[in-house]
Chain A
Amino acid sequence: EAEVAQSPRYKITEKSQAVAFWCDPISGHATLYWYRQILGQGPELLVQFQDESVVDDSQLPKDRFSAERLKGVDSTLKIQPAELGDSAMYLCASSLALAGVWSESYEQYFGPGTRLTVT
């Protein structure tokens, strides 16, 4: 069964350092999402891509966070510089959702996440 891949699974970094996470969606999934899940809370969307284009990055702290999906396949989320409050689980998800094509069955499939600890 196809899965969303994420790496690394765990990352410990010191504050003010740069950190990057990688996500490889399920093959053929046009839409890719990055969520942040703070301990004890539900995931919150940071950024949504349709192919290589950003659809929604309204909740992305753009002063320190950046995300790219250059070829419309895998994606990288970067934090520079990391702050203590960035400690969280970063989840990637993908779906078949296509611009201009709506289907209620376009589920989001989640990867295992990257657990970031900033010290």
Chain B
Amino acid sequence: AQKVTQAQTEISVVEKEDVTLDCVYETRDTTYYLFWYKQPPSGELVFLIRRNSFDEQNEISGRYSWNFQKSTSSFNFTITASQVVDSAVYFCALRGGGFGNEKLTFGTGTRLTIIP
């Protein structure tokens, strides 16, 4: 069975501070994909990143960066110089590889509040 754990339920930081959202996953698949989604108050899930299990390179996109460590089954997300617009609920998700494995398993989410 697949499982995603986001231990941080809520985080509040002052604007311009850096913040890291933790994600730990469990899977028996050798090929799998990890995702981060943002859910603003409007409700839709916005895709941020996909990472496959064979690519452990860290990725940076503007103020966002992701650290994938297979050894600790973690896929953490860092926002640098946070802004009020970053306030949202962030979900980490896991999907198996191959046919018939498109189902996303989500964590319970981390509510991030950026204080102006």
Please give the distance in Å from B62's CB to the nearest CB on chain A: 19
Closest to B107 in A: A42
Q: In the bound complex, do residue A104 and residue B108 qualify as a contact, i.e. CB atoms below 8 Å apart?
A: no
Q: Which residues of A contact B4 (CB under 8 A)?
A: 42
Q: Is the interface of B mostly helix, strand, loop or mixed?
A: loop
CB pair A48 B44 closer than 8 Å:
no
Q: Does B33 contact A (CB under 8 A)?
A: yes
Chain A CB within 10 Å, residue with most, of B42, B98, B103, B108:
B103
Residues of A in contact, count (CB < 8 Å)? 30
Q: Interface 1/0s, chain B 75-93, versus A by CB < 8 A?
A: 0000000000000000101
Q: Report B-chain residues with C-beta under 8 Å of the C-beta of A91.
A: 43-45
* Contact call B108/A41, Cβ cutoff below 8 A: yes
Is residue A18 within 8 Å, beta carbon to beta carbon, of the partner chain? no
| Interface pair A112/B43, CB less than 8 Å apart | yes
Kindly supply a per-residue 1/0 record for chain A positions 83-105, scoring 1 wherever the CB is within 8 Å of any chain B CB and 0 otherwise: 00000010101010101101011
A42-B93, A93-B45, A102-B98 given; name 19 further pairs at CB < 8 Å. Answer: A31-B102, A40-B108, A40-B109, A41-B108, A42-B4, A42-B106, A42-B108, A42-B109, A43-B91, A43-B106, A55-B100, A91-B43, A100-B99, A102-B97, A105-B50, A107-B47, A110-B44, A111-B44, A113-B44
Q: Which residues of B contact A (CB under 8 A)?
A: 4, 33, 37, 42-47, 50, 52, 91, 93, 97-100, 102-104, 106-109
Interface residues of A (CB under 8 A from B): 31, 33, 40-45, 48, 55-56, 89, 91, 93, 95, 97, 99-100, 102, 104-113, 115
